[in-house]
Amino acid sequence: MTAIDLSSFAGLTAMVLMTLNVLLGLLVTTNYQTHRAWPHRKLPVTFFRIHNWTAYLALSVAILHPLILLASSTARFKPMDILWPFSSPGQRNYNLLGALTLYSFAFVVVTSYFRPKLRYRPWKKLHYAAYFAAASMYLHGTLIDPDLKNRPTDFLDGEKLLVEGCFLLVVAGIVWRVRYGKERQRWRKKHAGKLWDRPPGLSSSD
């Protein structure tokens, strides 16, 4: 296995972890309660903690993804090509998308670490950068040639199908989140003041 293969594997791993992180984030925003809704049992750890763990792990693997290329003699990447890919050898636009993904996701993780100082509302606005990071990540993963040979994209390739599948999962998650939010708003208007009657998945803090 070459350094390019290892870098590609690290990139796909980071992509899967970021996808999981986004989906967990959508669950966190709904205050989803597993003992009230599926799987109808209390988990040993909260979605919020898993969301944080996957963020740190995904960011670590995402940083490793381009750094591995420095060990390849055929890729011809230099440190500046990793930090500022405007002069990277081949596929520069796609490499820029990868850099935007990494920097955007790092921004989300760092601002989340300082969430108590930033306060909730300003932090929440900054946290929307996660959706931009996800969009650029899926574009980068779909369009770039994993072997760095500038070949046209094969959308039915196994790796591309994985990226496309993760993208569809996030889209489905966002649709579910929007619908769930609308249903919760309708329930609140209908049961205003009746705190003893709550829909599945909501806690007394909602």
DSSP secondary structure, 106-172, as one string: HHHHHHHHTHHHH-HHHHHHHHTHHHHHHHHHHHHHHHS-TTSS-PPP-TTSHHHHHHHHHHHHHHH
Residue 37 makes CB contacts below 8 A (sequence gap 6+) with 200, 201
Per-residue pLDDT tens over the stretch 123-151 = 999 999 999 999 999 999 999 999 998 89
**Interatomic CA distance for residues 20 and 9, integer angstroms:** 17
3-state secondary structure of 202: coil
Q: What is the DSSP string of 18-81?
A: HHHHHHHHHHHHTT--TTTSTT-S--SS-HHHHHHHHHHHHHHHHHHHHHGGGG-TTT---HHH
**pLDDT reading at 205 higher than 70:** no
What pTM value is reported for the model?
0.88
* pLDDT tens, residue by residue, 171-203: 999 999 999 888 888 887 887 755 545 555 554
Q: What percent of the chain has pLDDT over 90?
A: 73
- Whole-number mean pLDDT of the chain? 90
Q: At 114, which amino acid appears?
A: F
pLDDT digits (tens, 9 = 90+) for 48-86: 999 999 999 999 999 999 999 999 989 999 999 999 999
CA distance 128 to 151: 33
Using CA atoms, how far apart are residues 147 and 145, in angstroms rounded to an integer?
5
